[in-house]
Amino acid sequence: MNTQPLKIAIAGLGTVGGGTVHLLHDQAALLAQRAGRPLTMVGVAALEKPVDLPLGGVPFFTDARVMARDADYDVLVELIGGAGGIALDIVKTALGRGRSVVTANKAMIAHHGGELARLAEANNAVIGFEASVGGGIPIIKSLREGLAGNRVTQVMGILNGTCNYILTTMREQGRDFSDVLAEAQALGYAEADPSFDIDGIDTAHKLAILASLAFAMPLDIAAVAAEGIRHVSALDIRYADELGYRIKLLGVARLTDDGVESRVYPAMVPLSFPLAHVGGVFNAVVTEGDFVGRTVLEGRGAGARPTASAVVSDLMDLARGRATPTFGVPVAQLAARPAAPSGAHHSAYYIRLMVRDEPGVFADIAAALRDERVSMEQIIQRGRAPNEIVPVVMTVHETDEASMLRAVARIAALAAVAEPPRIIRIETL
Q: Is the pLDDT of residue 386 over 70?
A: no
CA pseudo-torsion sign 240, 245, 246, 247 = negative
Binned at pLDDT 50, 70 and 90, residue 191 comes out as confident
What string of DSSP letters covers 247-309?
A: EEEEEEEEEETTEEEEEEEEEEEETTSTTTT--TTEEEEEEEETTTEEEEEEEE-SSHHHHHH
The residue type found at 279 is: G
Classify strands 60-61 and 376-381 as parallel, antiparallel or unpaired. Answer: unpaired
| Count of CA atoms in the C-beta half-sphere (13 A) of 312 | 29
Q: Give the residue numbers marked as catalytic.
A: 206
Instruction: For residue 302, name the pLDDT band (cuts at 50, 70, 90).
Output: confident
Run of H or E including 315: helix 304-320
In sequence order, what are the residues at sequence separation of 6 or more whose Cβ sits closer than 8 angstroms to the Cβ of residue 309? 23, 136
The predicted pLDDT at position 284 comes to: 98
CA distance 77 to 342: 38
Could you please report the per-residue DSSP string of 350-413? EEEEEEE--TTHHHHHHHHHHHTT--EEEEEE----TT-EEEEEEEEEEEEHHHHHHHHHHHHT
Residue 105 is predicted with a pLDDT of 97
Centroid of chain to Cα 133: 6
Give the model's pLDDT for residue 342.
85
Within 10 angstroms of residue 358's Cβ, the number of other Cβ atoms is 11
Average pLDDT over residues 80-105: 97
pLDDT tops 80 at residue 384? no
> Counting beta carbons within 10 angstroms of the beta carbon of residue 284, is it exposed (0 to 12), middle (13 to 18) or buried (19 or more)?
buried
The pLDDT of residue 151 is: 97
Task: Give the model's pLDDT for residue 3.
Answer: 85
Query: Tell me, what DSSP letter sits at residue 135?
Result: T
Give the whole-angstrom CA distance, residue 32 versus residue 288: 35
How large a percentage of the chain has pLDDT more than 70? Answer: 99
pLDDT of 394-418, one tens digit each?
Answer: 999 999 999 999 999 999 999 999 9
Task: Examine the pLDDT at 242 and tell me if it is beyond 80.
Answer: yes
What is the rounded distance in angstroms from the CA atom of residue 68 to the CA atom of residue 90?
6
The closest of 264, 276, 409 to 351, measured between CA atoms, is: 409
8-17, 115-124, 144-153, 185-194: range with lowest mean pLDDT: 185-194
Q: What is the mean pLDDT of residues 421-426?
A: 96
- What is the mean pLDDT of the segment spanning 201-214? 98
| pLDDT band (50, 70, 90) for residue 343 | confident
**pLDDT of the residue at 392:** 92
pLDDT of 33 higher than 70: yes
Work out the average pLDDT over 57-65. Answer: 97
Q: SS3 of 112, please? A: helix
pLDDT recorded at residue 381: 85
Q: Render 167-211 in DSSP notation, one character per residue.
A: HHHHHHHT--HHHHHHHHHHHTSS-SSTHHHHTSHHHHHHHHHHH
**pLDDT, mean of residues 8-19:** 96
User: For residue range 95-118, what is the model confidence (pLDDT) as tens digits?
Assistant: 999 999 999 999 999 999 999 999
What number is the average pLDDT over the span 177-182? 95
Mean pLDDT over residues 322-347, rounded? Answer: 93
Position 316 confidence tier, pLDDT thresholds 50, 70, 90: very high
Contact assessment for residue 43 and residue 59, using Cβ atoms and an 8 Å cutoff: yes
Q: Give yes or no for residue 122 having a pLDDT over 90.
A: yes
Residue 429 has pLDDT above 80, yes or no: no
Structural domains of the chain, with CATH: 6-132 (3.40.50.720), 139-300 (3.30.360.10), 343-426 (3.30.70.260)
Q: How far is CA 82 from CA 37, 55, 224, 252, 334, in A?
A: 32, 25, 19, 23, 25
Task: Dump strand ranges (E) for 107-164.
Answer: 127-128, 152-158
**In terms of pLDDT, which residue wins out, 1 or 353?**
353
389 vs 385: CA distance, rounded Å: 8
Q: For strands 346-356 and 293-300, give the pairing.
A: unpaired
